[in-house]
Chains A and B, each alone.
Chain A
Amino acid sequence: MTPVVAEVSGADERLRASGLLDRLVPRPEVGALLGALVVFAFFSVVTERFLSPAGVATWLDDASTLGVVAVAVALLMIGGEFDLSAGVMTASTALVTAVLSTRLGWNVWWALLASLLFALAVGALNGWLVVRTGLPSFIVTLGTFLALQGLNLGVTRLVTGTVQVSGMRAAPGYESAGFVFASTFSLGGTRFPVSIVWWLVATAVASVVLLRTRFGNWVFAVGGSAAVSRAVGVPVRRTKVVLFTATAGAAWLVGSINILRFTSVQANQGIGLEFQFIIAAVIGGCLLTGGFGSAVGAAVGALIFGMARQGIVYANWNSDWFQLFLGVMLLAAVLVNNALRRRAERVRR
């Protein structure tokens, strides 16, 4: 008789001792972190100003206003949807705030509240249309995108006779609102814009919600498979509507930061930003097909964006190179994501 080998309890014998790399690879944001390190190192070497405190503040600032919305867009994409209206929404909300406080004399805080409600309503409408009709969100939000763009220009021209609204500084409540959304704070003698704080807060909140709450579980589920989610009792429609609304809310935050910082807004602002949000989220590891991704990744994606955009300026290169960089970065990210996903999923059929 062969003696029976006693099984060692605890660890499973089929589980190969996994190295650090193995454990890290399935995490969606790893690729973006590596990319950020490379971009950071590259511009630190190539240009002087990149690492100077003022330089750091500049690219962090650039990344922050992109990152706030990119993080929300990442959650939306994990939930399986797109929002093409998020870019113009930053301008729409800024315009609403500006028109109400400069033309109608509203207190800035009330104007901000009104534009927030406007944003949430449009976001909820986006979500409602998508879950109601079952149409791809790409088409539905393309419609909202065009509609908002038209409204921005049309209403601004009607109200002001030009295509911009300015004069925020004189509006009542500007000081306190400006402090919250557009002030700067000092760190080691350098002044950093407060938008960086908003960016970090948005990332932290989104990440906690995604990974640690029931709602976050639902976000992964509705993006992974809406039909399965529904069958096990997840409120699929509500989850998606909330995601669209949150995205619009993030766009409002950036719109508010912009209008209070620059005190004026162009009616054609924000166009094209929607793709930057999506690109940042994809660089950060979000799958275009939903169900996989991370909020931290999207924040890092925005950081890469900011570093590259400002780095190219510091290096005195033509900004055309930024588009090339972006294209290469996006393709690389999609390829890496695909490989990671296959590793994480390895679905057998």
Chain B
Amino acid sequence: MTPLIEVRGVGKTYGSVIALRGVSAVVNAGEVTCVLGDNGAGKSTLIKVLAGVHRHDEGELLVDGRPVRFSSPRDALDRGVATVHQDLAVVPLMSVWRNFFLGSEPRRGPFLDRGKAREVTRRALADMGIDLRDVEQPVGTLSGGERQCVAIARAVHFGARVLILDEPTAALGVKQAGLVLRHVARARDRGLGVVLITHNPHHAYPVGDRFLLLKRGRALGCHDKSEIGVEELTRQMAGGAELAELAHELRGVDP
């Protein structure tokens, strides 16, 4: 089976900042690839390459086994790759339904099909466990978690083959985080390839099939679930020995 997406030794620099170097990974249909790493490790940079926001400077990006260079996010979307970005999720001044369908507006004749748009938005959000008061309100008036859910619901709705989520659960409550993970699992079971970025190994481990660990722009390793347990994952994410030291220190100050 050829992977939906594969990266081979990709690198990306922002001016003089080397954000990513020599990272390889695969995204298979029906599997969840988790990307883990510290702040600034290059996780968002990697998925921006996958989503067509940035072009990689070195290495290869393959879709269905063929090398491509996405010319724009539209290009990626047209190939069924939908992304929830950490920092590029929604336009605050626009209403919820306008945001939801932004870039993929439903039309009847030359005009927007506003009735359908509102209805689909409401239903998709209800699916996320968000019971919105009013889909006409500007997204800026929503809570951080609600806003995040709008972006996730949109990606789940439009992601035809690959779903990329950059820290989707960071701002969410326990119930919504659970629902998002359930959607991730559901998308995987429908045969989508999912890329999930998170800082929380307890979110990553239950749904993940493969774990890519990044540190300072390089891959520390890429493990199959069978090769690594949740403790080991946590230990590697936190930098192993440093964590033990920290635990010791914290115990010390605790009365």
Please report A residues at the B interface, Cβ cutoff 8 Å: 12, 14-15, 26, 212-214, 216-218, 220-221, 224-225, 227-235, 291-292, 341, 344-348
Contacts and interface: CB of A to CB of B under 8 A. Distances in A.
Contact of A225 (B91, B105, B111): B91
Interface in B77-98: 77-78, 83, 85, 88-94, 98
Given A15-B133, A229-B103, A220 B92 contact: no
A347 B92 contact: yes
10 contacts: A12-B133, A218-B102, A225-B88, A229-B91, A231-B83, A233-B77, A291-B93, A292-B93, A345-B140, A348-B140
B110 A213 contact: yes
Contact of A345 (B92, B110, B132): B92
A80 to B, nearest CB: 11
A345 B91 contact: no
Interface bracket on B: 35 or more
List 9 A-B pairs, minimum CB-CB distance, nearest first: A233-B103, A224-B91, A233-B74, A347-B140, A232-B103, A231-B88, A345-B140, A214-B105, A291-B93
Contact of B143 (A14, A227, A348): A348
A346 B93 contact: no
A348 B112 contact: no
Given A15-B134, A212-B112, A227-B88, A217 B144 contact: no
A214 B140 contact: no
A348 B85 CA distance: 18
Given A15-B134, A228-B88, A221 B53 contact: no
A347 B78 CA distance: 31
Given A217-B112, A232-B102, 5 more contacts: A12-B131, A26-B138, A228-B89, A231-B53, A233-B73
B82 to A, nearest CB: 9
A14 B131 CA distance: 10
Q: Is the interface of B mostly helix, strand, loop or mixed?
A: loop
Contacts of B132: 12
B102 A230 contact: no
A14 to B, nearest CB: 6
B104 interface: yes
B107 interface: yes
B72 interface: yes
Contact of A230 (B72, B107, B140, B141): B72
Contacts of B134: 12, 15
B112 A214 contact: yes
B94 A221 contact: yes
A26 B105 CA distance: 23
Contacts of A231: 51, 53, 73, 83, 85, 88
Interface string B50-77: 0101000000000000000000111001
B73 A230 contact: yes
B94 A224 contact: yes
Interface centre among B53, B78, B88, B93 (most CB of A within 10 A): B93
Residue of A213, A228, A345, A348 ringed by the most chain B CB atoms within 10 A: A228
A280 B14 CA distance: 41
Nearest to B112: A212
Given A14-B133, A345-B93, A348-B143, A217 B73 contact: no
A226 B51 CA distance: 16
A221 B102 contact: yes
